[in-house]
């Protein structure tokens, strides 16, 4: 693929995500649950303030009816990393219990960046890994380009992740890597590893 075309497609994909990210999200300023932004923020709050053995346990510090952590451990570790960084920038963003419903513009911007970084570190490389792999017939350039465009500009992923503070691009990126690995005869264990991470 031409280098300039690649840069143009990637830039367009990033721009589309940023445009979507500028609009309101579900649950904004709507107590008591505040929507998906609050769910992700709260998981950061829980993982950064409580020991790992309490992340999935109902307690006075972790009310599971208020956006209880109900995703697998990799998601919890991701929330911990984001929460740790968030806590270093501004401890009030993830203060245990006191931060419920916190919707400052600076924290929303931080959360938007975490979704962009997930795309840059995992999803985009996985998409280009599929594009460059032998999975797609190298002689059919239009088919490869169609797959690339479909993955870069997949509207539902853009709306859900960048419009509503989700991180589905992480699991989809890991699943794409697993898919390519599964087609290589000596990479079944590696494929299983990445597929398991994607769950």
pLDDT in tens, 144-190: 888 889 999 999 999 999 999 999 999 999 999 999 999 887 889 99
Which structure tokens are listed for 84? Answer: 């740790």
Residue 5 makes CB contacts below 8 A (sequence gap 6+) with none
15, 141 contact by CB (below 8 A): no
pLDDT at 19: 96
Residue range of the domain that includes 13: 1-26+113-199
Same domain assignment for residues 121 and 51: no
pLDDT at 133: 84
Distance CA 46, CA 59 (A): 11
Q: Is 43 helix (H, G, I), strand (E, B) or coil?
A: helix
Instruction: Estimate the share of the chain in helix, then strand, then coil, as percent rounded to the nearest 5.
Output: 65, 0, 35
Same domain assignment for residues 20 and 118: yes
Indicate the range of 68-72, 85-89, 104-108, 142-146 predicted with least confidence.
Answer: 142-146
pLDDT at 138: 63
Number of domains in the chain: 2
Q: Considering the entire predicted model, what is its pTM?
A: 0.90
Q: Decide which of 77, 102, 127 is a domain's last residue.
A: 102
How would you write 68-126 as a 3-class SS string? CCCCCHHHHHHHHHHHHHHHHHCHHHHCCCCCCCCCCHHHHHHHHHHHHHHHHHHHHHH
Same domain assignment for residues 174 and 139: yes
Peptide bond preceding 51: is omega within 30 degrees of 0, i.e. cis? Answer: no
Higher pLDDT among residues 78 and 147, named by residue: 78
Q: Is residue 108 part of a domain?
A: no
Same domain assignment for residues 55 and 125: no
């Amino acid at each position: 693929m031409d280098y300039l075309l690649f840069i143009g497609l990637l830039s367009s994909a990033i721009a589309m995500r940023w445009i979507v990210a500028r609009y309101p999200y579900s649950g904004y300023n709507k107590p008591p649950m505040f929507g998906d932004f609050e769910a992700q923020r709260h998981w950061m709050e829980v993982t950064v303030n409580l020991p790992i053995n309490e992340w999935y346990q109902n307690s006075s510090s972790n009310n599971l009816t208020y956006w209880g952590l109900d995703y697998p451990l990799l998601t919890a570790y991701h929330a911990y990393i984001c929460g740790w960084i968030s806590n270093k920038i501004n401890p009030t963003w993830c203060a245990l219990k006191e931060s419920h419903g916190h919707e400052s513009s600076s924290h929303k911007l931080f959360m938007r960046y975490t979704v962009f970084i997930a795309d840059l570190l995992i999803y985009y490389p996985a998409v280009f890994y599929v594009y460059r792999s032998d999975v797609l017939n190298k002689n059919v350039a239009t088919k490869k380009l169609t797959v690339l465009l479909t993955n870069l500009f997949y509207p539902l992923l853009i709306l859900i992740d960048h419009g509503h503070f989700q991180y589905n691009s992480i699991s989809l990126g890991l699943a794409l890597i697993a898919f390519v690995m599964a087609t290589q005869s000596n990479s079944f264990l590696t494929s299983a590893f990445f597929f398991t991470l994607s769950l």
